[in-house]
Amino acid sequence: MEERSSFFDVPVIIEAITIFFSMNIKTQLLEAIEQAPDSVIQETFNFLSSAQSDYLHSQSAGDAILSLLDQIPLNPEDLKNLPNDLAAQHDHYLYGVPKSD
């Protein structure tokens, strides 16, 4: 007789639940589209297209921060006054601890 270590295969159950809810949402959306007037369908399509485009063209957090920093006007004199050891001495600049060697 074959022994089973467990009656439930948890990863398989989780995958099945994920697929069920994913398909359930898609099914609900398709059913709602079937019953919606054309104007609502067009508005929904426009929103979905815009959301997909925004998602595909979104920047990473790092790229967004660099983009913002690029917009700050700095002349060469300002750059000379910035600390060149900021990363190495961040505790000094943030918390006021003595600089390390």
Walk along the chain (101 residues) and give the pLDDT tens digit of each residue.
455 555 667 777 788 777 777 777 888 888 889 999 999 999 999 999 999 888 888 878 788 888 888 888 888 888 888 878 778 888 888 899 998 87
**pLDDT at position 46, please?**
93
Give just the sign of the alpha carbon dihedral 8, 12, 18, 23. Answer: negative
pLDDT of the residue at 8: 66
Q: What is the structure's pLDDT at 83? A: 79
DSSP class of residue 36 equals S
For 60, list phi and psi in degrees, rounded to 5: -70, 165
